[in-house]
């Protein structure tokens, strides 16, 4: 028997069923503690990534009480989480997304999380092959699955065979590396530098995609077990030069095409003015709609951005779930993780951008793509269906490729900034800035979470 109506009167939006279920006889072993952000329906960027999917779990598993501790800001949440972990406490379930600043890999390395293999090995409902296996490895330390990747946003880029042919690409149907994508954008930006009507790159989301240029290249390898960082100096310099040029072109387009943070033109006009279009957060809906507009006149191509040199290797910004090693109720925490693995993670409320992450469950992810397509176009034309089939084929190639996590710690981005500044103002100072960056990063990697 569902109790939603009564329970929803007791507590706000997501976790309303918590106290209601407790009154219906749940034992202490059924109580699961988790830290979340307070609901903010006026701003999608500060909505909690997890609460809408956790609400689904609460509805389906009525005998489990989710004891949510809410925080006004992520900084407050992390301050309490780290303090309590250092004292041997903290919530049962630890959730990590793009909103976090803490380094969850250090929590795993320093023994603060439970090895999920204790459950996975005896779970008859779990089949590793049903999930993005290479991404599962991102949460593995020395054979222990401390972090469970749950979902990820896709760095998607839209262009067309015709636009690539005009840009001089010999085979417009070929998959492009991120180096090649940025090279095309850079060349197109230089070609249209004095043209206020045409651009090499238009970022549909005002800066999100520019970050994907850098991160998804896979330049940095962070080895937390060894406490070391590796990156090719010359490759990094080339990547940064292209990244800065592509970012400048995105800024030029935004300045000329927008008013504040909203485009003055409709998407039909925008797709005529650029060679590449990008969307990263909430990317499926944001890219599929323009692609279907473009399909009326051109042959659209959706590119899932590969790494700098490889077309079958990818980096995505992963959302993780983990169980506190000191959890009072690890069994239920594991049940929630398994639920999250098999459901779309929806970030946003009605009336606010309802961004969705791709599920690590390959079947769920493919169904999600189909659902978004149907919501955009319904019964498509033959040309739209042909385009969609081509995109699904690319997505399936992605799912069978080498997909790794690029959720780099803030410490990495902070130390990269001087390298970018050197390339802009004094390229001769790049090597010194690079050496300083590497020294600082090696020191950071050796530091424990708690002194």
Q: What is the pTM of this model?
A: 0.89
Single out the residue of 261, 386, 364, 72 nearest to residue 377, CA to CA.
386
In 176-250, the DSSP E strands lie at 199-203, 221-223, 228-230
Q: Is the pLDDT of residue 251 over 60?
A: yes
Q: Is the pLDDT of residue 86 over 80?
A: yes
Give backbone dihedrals phi and psi of 49, rounded to 5 degrees, phi first.
-60, -30
| Span 393-411, pLDDT tens digits | 999 999 999 999 988 888 8
- Structural domain spans, the chain: 4-152+317-358, 156-315+365-408
Give the C-alpha separation, 305 to 309, whole Å.
11
Model confidence at 349, pLDDT cuts 50, 70, 90, reads: low
Q: Is the pLDDT of residue 331 over 90?
A: yes
| Span 19-78, pLDDT tens digits | 333 323 344 557 899 999 998 877 777 788 998 899 999 999 988 889 999 999 999 999
pLDDT for the residue numbered 207: 77
Average pLDDT score, the chain: 88
Give backbone dihedrals phi and psi of 280, rounded to 5 degrees, phi first.
-120, -60
Structural contact between residues 347 and 377, judged by C-beta atoms closer than 8 angstroms: no
Residue with tokens 């925008």, as numbered in its chain: 270
Residue with tokens 């590793």, as numbered in its chain: 128
What letter does residue 38 receive in the DSSP assignment?
A: P
Q: Picking from 4-18, 27-41, 140-154, 348-362, which range would have the lowest pLDDT averaged per residue?
A: 4-18
Within 13 Å and on the Cβ side, how many CA atoms surround 82? 18
CATH placement of domain 4-152+317-358: 3.40.190.10
pLDDT for the residue numbered 301: 94
- Non-local CB neighbours of 295 within 8 Å, separated by 6+ positions: 381, 383, 384, 387
| Span 109-137, pLDDT tens digits | 999 999 999 999 999 999 999 999 999 99
Model confidence at 258, pLDDT cuts 50, 70, 90, reads: confident
């Amino acid at each position: 028997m569902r109790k939603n109506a009564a329970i929803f009167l007791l507590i706000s939006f997501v976790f309303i069923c918590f106290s209601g279920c407790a009154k219906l006889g749940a034992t202490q072993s059924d109580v699961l503690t988790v830290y979340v952000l307070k609901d903010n329906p006026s701003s999608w960027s500060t909505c909690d990534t997890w609460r809408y999917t956790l609400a689904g779990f609460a509805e389906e598993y009525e005998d489990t009480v989710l004891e949510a501790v809410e925080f006004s800001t992520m900084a407050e949440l992390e301050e309490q989480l780290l303090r309590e972990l250092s004292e041997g406490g903290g919530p049962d379930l630890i959730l990590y997304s793009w909103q976090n600043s803490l380094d969850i890999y250090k929590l795993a390395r320093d023994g603060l999380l439970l090895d999920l293999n204790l459950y996975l090995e005896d779970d008859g409902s779990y089949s590793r092959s049903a999930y993005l296996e290479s991404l599962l490895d991102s949460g593995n330390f020395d054979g222990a699955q401390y972090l469970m990747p749950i979902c990820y946003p896709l760095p998607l880029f839209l262009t067309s065979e015709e636009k690539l042919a005009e840009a001089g690409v010999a085979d417009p149907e070929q998959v492009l590396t991120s180096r090649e994508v940025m090279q095309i954008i850079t060349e197109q930006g230089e070609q249209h530098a004095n043209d206020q009507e045409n651009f090499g790159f238009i970022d549909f989301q005002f800066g999100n995609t520019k970050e994907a240029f850098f991160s998804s290249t896979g330049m940095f390898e962070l080895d937390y077990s060894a406490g070391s960082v590796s990156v090719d100096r010359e490759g990094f310099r080339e990547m940064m030069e292209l990244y800065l040029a592509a970012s400048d072109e995105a800024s030029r387009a935004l300045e000329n095409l927008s008013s504040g943070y909203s485009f003055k033109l409709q998407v039909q006009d925008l797709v005529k003015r650029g060679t590449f279009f990008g969307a990263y957060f909430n990317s499926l809906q944001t890219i599929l709609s323009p692609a279907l507009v473009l399909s009326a006149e051109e042959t659209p191509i959706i590119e899932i951005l590969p790494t700098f040199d490889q077309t079958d290797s990818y980096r995505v910004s992963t959302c993780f779930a983990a169980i506190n090693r000191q959890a009072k109720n690890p069994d239920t925490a594991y049940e929630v993780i398994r639920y999250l693995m098999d459901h779309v993670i929806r970030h946003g409320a009605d009336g606010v951008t309802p961004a969705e992450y791709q599920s690590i469950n390959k079947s769920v992810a493919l169904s999600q793509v189909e659902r978004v397509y149907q919501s955009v176009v319904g019964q498509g034309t033959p040309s739209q269906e042909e385009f969609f089939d081509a995109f699904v084929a690319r997505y399936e190639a992605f799912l069978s490729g080498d997909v790794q996590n690029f959720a780099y710690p803030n410490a990495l981005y902070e130390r990269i900034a001087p390298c970018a500044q050197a390339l802009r103002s004094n390229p001769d100072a790049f090597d010194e800035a690079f050496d300083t960056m590497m020294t600082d990063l090696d020191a950071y990697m050796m530091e424990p979470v708690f002194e």
